[in-house]
Each structure stands twice: as structure tokens, then as C-alpha cells.
Amino acid sequence: MGYNIEVSFNVLKCGSVIELQNSLKSYAEQCECQQFYEDYEFENKTQFQRRHCIISVTFLPSNIIGLQQFLKFIMKNKGLYLESIYNDDSNAILYASQYYITQKMNKNLAKDFIVEKRKRSYSEDETMILNTIKH
């Protein structure tokens, strides 16, 4: 199936939500994404309030270059947050943000992810993806 990337941005801090969604969608299409999906997340916990638009973009494994270009675009734009990168083929999470680990993952799964992240060996494509995020 490929790689699924989740990106979020705060709806209240964004000038035009539709304009940002359209620019993300058009850039994802330029990078030849397979699928584009958007959703909204509103939480009113006393400790943590969240009003974000979540965008999921799927890339085929054969389109690593397009995926890297999309990741670079996200990392350059202030206000866009990379939440997770998931490999559908191996059913493995390559990257998860601190928010995603602490708030969205099951506690046991989060512990396993943190331990596994240190021990795991990555494929060449996965290493290229992770290096794009780091730089």
C-alpha cells in the first residue's frame, strides 16, 4: 500500500484553513500522492486543548522522492506539524511526534514503540525518510 503521513495544523492560528488545505493538497498532488484525506480534531480537556485539522497523505513505496519532497515542504512551513509516518506494508510506525506518543497511542504500544525504535533496523527507503525529517 505505501506510506501514510499525518500532518496537522491549528485551526485557530491559521489565517485561512481552506487556503492552507488547498495548498497542501495541490503540493501533495504535485508530489504524486496516492490518497489525500482531511479530518478535524477538537478536544477540550482541562490540561490540553486541541483544535486541529489532521491531513493524511498516502504515497506508494515506489515514490520515495515525492514523499521526501512533501516532508521537506512540511518541515519548512511554520505551523504545520508532522504527527506520524506509518508504513502500511510492514504495519510499522516509522515516526511519531511526542503528542502522538503521549496522547494518541495506547500506553503499552507507546512503550513498545519507544523501545523498538532504538533496536529496530530500517530499510534503505525508511532511512532516507527519517533522514529527511532530521535535516
Q: Specify burial of residue 79 (Cβ count, 10 A radius: 0-12, 13-18, 19+).
A: exposed
CATH code (residue 52)? 3.30.70
The arithmetic mean of pLDDT across residues 20-30, rounded, is: 92
Mean pLDDT of the chain: 88
Range of the domain at 75: 3-134
Return the amino acid letter for 24: L
Total domains present in the chain: 1
pLDDT digits (tens, 9 = 90+) for 92-123: 889 999 888 888 888 888 888 888 887 777 88
Indicate the pTM of the whole model.
0.87
